[in-house]
Structure 1
C-alpha cells in the first residue's frame, strides 16, 4: 500500500482542501450523532477519475452536463463507500482503459468531468 499520511505541522505544497458537499451518516433518521469526523484525502487525477467512474452508474453520456457540485458529490460518495486505500490501489490501472476502444469514450468523459470539477490538476493544453 502506498497511501501515506502527512503529520500535523508538516507542510507541503498541496492544493487547498475542497469543503465537503454533504454530511454523510445517520443525520436524517432521527438518531443523535456523537461526532462529526472530517477526513482529508489527497487524491491524484486518476484516483478522482476512478471514484467518479464508480459513481457514474452508466450515465457516461450525461457526464458533460453534470455540475461541478454533482461531480464532486459523486467522488465523495464513492470515496466514502470504498475508502481511500481501495481507490488508490485501483486507480493505477484506470488510465489503461483508454487503450480499450470499447471503454475509451466513457473514460475520456470521466476525465473531462474530473478536470472541470478539480481544475488544479487538469492537464495543460499544449
Structure 2
C-alpha cells in the first residue's frame, strides 16, 4: 500500500506549518484519551477556501471581521470532519464559483479571509 504523502524533496519547499488552534476530539471529562495526533496537510489556497466555506454556515457577511485564529479554526474544523483527498478534489472547481454572480461576493469574502489567515503566499492586489 502506498501512502498519499509528498515526496521528501518537496517538503523542503513548503511554507512553515501553522500550529493547530486546539485539539479536536472527545469533549466529555473523564474520557480515556490515549493520544493527541497531529496531522500536517499541505493545502492550496483553493483547498483552504473550500474548507473555510464548509465551516462558515452562511456567515459570509461577517467574515471580514473574523480574526485569523477564527478563520484557521474553521479550516481545521472542516479538516477534522472531511478527508483531505475529498477537499483536494472538490477544491479544484471552487474558483469556478467566482463565475456565478450570486455566489461571487461570498466566494470573494472567503478568499479575503484565507489571504488574511494564511498570508505567506497570498496574491498581491493589483
Quick check: TM above 0.5? yes
Number of matched pairs? 124
Moved over 3 A (4+): 7-11
Task: Tell me which residue corresponds to 1:83.
Answer: 83
Task: Tell me which residue corresponds to 2:97.
Answer: 97
Query: 33-42 or 19-28: which moved more?
Result: 19-28
Matches within 5 A, 1:5-44: 5-6=5-6, 11-44=11-44
Deviation of 1:29 (Å): 3.3
Unaligned runs of 5+ in 1: none
Work out the CA distance in 2 between the residues paired with 1:13 and 1:56: 30
Unaligned runs of 5+ in 2: none
Matched-pair contact (CA < 8 Å) for 1:27–1:33: no
Indicate the RMSD between aligned Cα atoms, in angstroms.
Answer: 1.8
Task: Tell me which residue corresponds to 1:58.
Answer: 58
When normalised by structure 1's length, the TM-score is 0.91
Work out the CA distance in 1 between the residues paired with 2:116 and 2:33: 34
Deviation of 1:10 (Å): 6.8
Task: Tell me which residue corresponds to 1:119.
Answer: 119
When normalised by structure 2's length, the TM-score is 0.91
Deviation of 1:27 (Å): 4.9
Deviation of 1:9 (Å): 8.2
